[in-house]
A and B are shown apart, each in its own frame.
Chain A
């Protein structure tokens, strides 16, 4: 399937990115090449193959479900672009 600039613009919007027209055109071309290469997987019959999503093949160790307070509010707010000292501040929503 041909990757059009419209498809790239739609994906960008879903991913919360806003690309210039030039970049949309460039990415459409490059994405087309990359996906054409990925279509190679269609050569394989995988109808009977169980997908492998993670290489961990042993049961994942569980830990106690206990609350641990590792960081202070001040620590967590320290990296934020805007806070009022108690909360993260974002542009007005309503």
Chain B
């Protein structure tokens, strides 16, 4: 029985949804298989914060009674959601003590859309507190470990989502990406992660960190699995004024019809392929580019000249927005309150001081500083101006190419504790992902192999023009067909 369950969790999302639709597997069986896998792997990876075994089984049983619904493309598929997205009746902590007991009365739109598509929400995934971090070591509860090497980080801030998918605990997860937080853990854990165009997926119910940067996206084990999840969560939502009222392309068709890259112009930014890359990252990403060439693509040299300013720009904007967004946690309406405080001001101060962790406090203070009188123009306005230059770089590059490729991260996953003492070193891990969030464009991380020395996964990033998710999915699927799939993560094998 246990082996049979493990076999089920090895199926891809596309396979399991086929089996569910054909009633060859019951929704209850799929949920039970994932729960058994969670029980077996969670002591090692610690990817989750809350498992709703009872609720998921009850939902599955109710669905089995009625039977598969062909109008629901994810009918019966167990998925896991990053704990920064609100889930009605399920704890939503954002990886913080501040929200330890918070149970929201509503679903985030992306979660509601997943449920509408028939998915079953199985658990909430661990994350860096309020999505602030690149390693999932900043969770107030526990760090998550990389399923390929338990001594290494899974990446962040959606590290729980990346690790749970790689560990086979669910068939897909939702993550959020403010500066690379979907693509970095996907790269480190050997999965596929998509950061959609800003405005493609509603942010309603996403607890805001950097409002002009945050986007929700799918994290899966392969490209074809990402398409139906992205399809389900995309589209206009009147509750989010930044969600665009534009038609959503057929992502499944884009993946199904992917058959080579003939005539495709792939931009190779010199700033992404130069010094500072780990040898094994460079080797595997270059091999993938050779493959692209053999599939008919033309590799075009392009330049994104303001890349070196992206990290400074990003952290000014993100921290400024964070300091404003996190002002709502005041101990009055929800979240932690220090009950010893005698005055209102003292209650605010003590609740926030005791409820927020160090990285969150550090970013709030930095954000307060860059927005403060006398420094606003020097930092925030300046960063917003450089942000435009960064977007113009992409516009210029896309006049010469269809998509852009480069490594998702300069290194493979690093050891736990390696960068926690030096925030700036941690921030520098996001060098290749951050520009895309500033420009609001879509990007995908695709596993291209295991490093020869480290044995750790390496991710190639495929960047597209605005609203070009179908294009990057198609390119990724064409490449994926020629790359040997990764084996099971060895720390869990």
Contact = CB atoms under 8 A, between A and B. Distances in A.
Interface in B339-363: 339, 341-350, 352-353, 356, 358, 361-362
Given A44-B309, A46-B382, A51-B385, A79 B344 contact: no
A61 B236 contact: yes
A35 B335 CA distance: 31
Contacts of A60: 241-242
11 contacts: A3-B369, A15-B323, A15-B365, A17-B356, A19-B353, A31-B365, A33-B424, A51-B387, A53-B384, A55-B198, A55-B440
A38 B337 contact: no
A21 interface: no
A18 B385 contact: no
Interface residues of A, number: 53
A84 interface: no
B389 interface: yes
By Cβ-Cβ distance, the 6 closest A-B pairs, closest first, are A55-B440, A51-B384, A81-B337, A79-B334, A46-B385, A52-B388
Interface stretch (B18-26, B100-108, B267-275): B100-108
B106 A70 contact: yes
Question: Which of B323, B348, B350, B381 has the most CB atoms of chain A within a 10 A radius of its CB?
Answer: B348
Given A15-B323, A41-B313, A90-B347, A79 B386 contact: no
Interface string A1-34: 0010001100110111111000100010011011
Interface in B363-414: 364-366, 368-370, 372, 379, 381-389, 391
A53 B323 contact: no
A93 B343 CA distance: 7
Interface in B229-288: 236, 238, 241-245
Contacts of A79: 101-105, 333-335
A75 B337 CA distance: 19
Contacts of B83: none
A88 B312 contact: no
